[in-house]
Amino acid sequence: MVPYGRMSVVSLYRDEGIVLRTQKLGEADRIVTILTRRTGRVRAAAKGVRKTKSRFGARLEPFTHVDVQLYERRSLDLITQAETIRPYGEPLVSDYPRYTAGTAMLETTEKLTEEKEPALRQFLLLVGGLRTLVDGSHEPRLVLDAFLLRSLSVAGWAPALDECARCGSRGGLRGFAIASGGAVCGTCRPPGSASPAPQTLELMLALLRGEWTVADESETRHRVECSGLVAAYLQWHLEHGIRSLKHVERV
């Protein structure tokens, strides 16, 4: 038992979060990375979790929305209790394209957050994104691209889509220049920038704003172009890139 002293009050904390990643540790333990609502991204050890009789069961698997109690330690915090709030992983693993889209959401969230720095907006975005992915109302790659665009926006990197990223002009958007910050007009367009279809820029804007009626009616070729631009834009802002993006399958 932990004694009821001043130290123990400081070192035990409780939070809710989404499990982003698990890694093997030693013989039967795992390091679990969780984006929590209040504490931000936490890396913690879960003892014995790989044993099939573990009391944690599937509660600390990726995608699980979990209520956890942690013991703060100098190196890795220790998970002492875990209760499932909602197991998003279960419905996702039976649908491979949705699963791969979800994995890219988790990896992006991990890369966009810092250890123990509260990131409430990113947390809420992730919960909303997983809920939408699981309810099956939209094509998974669209859900992922909407999530990525909004995550970039939360990080302060929203691409310009309805005005030129350089001069602010609202008409004649001809290109998409990642280094300039998004759509560019014919005058500002740097050499070598992409020339997406106007419908692709409309789709990106709809995804950023959550206008699903527009997004759901889009054509496949514009969706493909949109995914390519979003991925390139994201990789440019995140130096190390998102490994799982290339494994995402389009339905």
Partner 1 sequence: MYEGVVQNLIDELGRLPGVGPKSAQRIAFHLLAADPADVLRLSQALIEVKEKVRFCKTCGNVAEEELCRICRDPRRDENVICVVEESKDVVAIEKTREFRGKYHVLGGAISPIEGVGPEDLRIRELMQRLADGAVTELILATDPNLEGEATATYLARLVKPMGLTVTRLASGLPVGGDLEYADEVTLGRAFEGRRLLDV
Q: Applying CB under 5 A, which residues contact Zn ion?
A: 164, 166-167, 169, 185, 188
Give the nearest distance from C-beta 69 to Zn ion in angstroms.
46
Q: Count interface residues toward partner 1 (CB under 8 A).
A: 36
**Burial track 62-73 (b if 16+ CB lie within 10 A, e otherwise):** bbbbbebebbee
Task: Please answer whether residues 193 and 177 qualify as being in contact, where contact means their C-beta atoms are separated by less than 8 angstroms.
Answer: yes
Q: Which is nearer to partner 1, 54 or 69 (CB)?
A: 54
Structure tokens at 155: 């990080």
Spatial distance between the Cα atoms of 109 and 19, rounded to a whole number of angstroms: 11
Residue of 13, 21, 85, 157 that binds partner 1 (CB under 8 A): 21
Return the range that interacts with partner 1 (CB under 8 A); candidates 104-112, 155-163, 201-209, 228-236. Answer: 104-112
Spatial distance between the Cα atoms of 110 and 119, rounded to a whole number of angstroms: 11
Q: Which does 69 bind (CB under 5 to 8 A by kind): partner 1, Zn ion, none?
A: none
Residue of 56, 123, 147, 176 that binds partner 1 (CB under 8 A): 56
DSSP for 179-198, please give it: TTTEEEETTT--TT-B---H
The verdict on 224 binding partner 1 (CB under 8 A) reads no
The verdict on 147 binding partner 1 (CB under 8 A) reads no
**Burial track 180-213 (b if 16+ CB lie within 10 A, e otherwise):** bbbbbbeebbeeebbebeebbbbbbbbbbeeebe
SS3 240: coil
Spatial distance between the Cα atoms of 125 and 137, rounded to a whole number of angstroms: 17
Return the range that interacts with partner 1 (CB under 8 A); candidates 118-126, 131-139, 155-163, 241-249. Answer: 241-249
Give the nearest distance from C-beta 100 to partner 1 in angstroms.
6
Return the range that interacts with partner 1 (CB under 8 A); candidates 69-77, 158-166, 177-185, 238-246. Answer: 238-246
Q: Which is nearer to Zn ion, 50 or 174 (CB)?
A: 174
